[in-house]
Structure 1
Amino acid sequence: MFRPKTQRLTEDRAEALALQVLAFVLADPKQISRFLALTGSTPDDLRTVASSRELQLATLDYLLSDEGLLLAFCQEAGIDPATIAPAHRLLAGPTEF
């Protein structure tokens, strides 16, 4: 069985992963309109805020909400699917109660 090489998850790596997911989603015309509708973004927003923390979190949320899409992305990118949720948590920062 293929085991992707794991890298230490850092904030920079999580941000890069979110941008990689965004590129993957935007490469699929069927996903673009759904992504825009669910995130409330416009194509212009994507150009100006692609590196914002909010869009990075929304992108990872979007991926985590669709197991088929998650698995397709991870297979294409050679990434362990178990990396996505920790990346999201890292970008979200500590939660206060």
Structure 2
Amino acid sequence: MHETNSKLEASSLAFQALAWALMDTSRADRLLALTGLTPEGLRTSIHHRGTQAAILSFLEAYEPDLIACAEVIGVPPTHLVKAREELEI
């Protein structure tokens, strides 16, 4: 896959993962607490690869969430892990 397409796909997965995480209030609160982001900070930095990687890293830290998110968005959990790795480059 071309590098630009790979980064776009990684960003797309991060946005989908964020939408999934925000569907549950307690999970959303945990995301903010563990990443150190505020709602305003998330809004202003969501387009940064570091923020996107942090969202995916949050899911990786708790395997049940990683698996549940992957299931809902229709990808294997390893795709979310690879997306995080891609965003950290």
Give the CA deviation at 1:18: 0.6
Structure 1 CA distance, aligned partners of 2:43 and 2:55?
A: 14
Could you say which residue in structure 2 is the equivalent of 1:81? 77
Could you say which residue in structure 2 is the equivalent of 1:39? 35
4+ residue runs over 6 A deviation: none
Structure 2 CA distance, aligned partners of 1:47 and 1:78?
A: 25
Larger radius of gyration: 1
Could you say which residue in structure 2 is the equivalent of 1:5? none
Could you say which residue in structure 1 is the equivalent of 2:60? 64
Q: Matched residues, percent identical?
A: 36
Aligned length: 86
1:51 to 41, 44, 47: 47
Structure 1 CA distance, aligned partners of 2:61 and 2:22?
A: 16
Aligned 8 A contact 2:50 2:87 in 1: no
Q: Which runs of 5+ in 2 are unaligned?
A: none
Aligned 8 A contact 1:19 1:51 in 2: no
Q: Which runs of 5+ in 1 are unaligned?
A: 1-7
RMSD (Å), alpha carbons:
1.3
Q: Does 1:30 align with 2:26?
A: yes
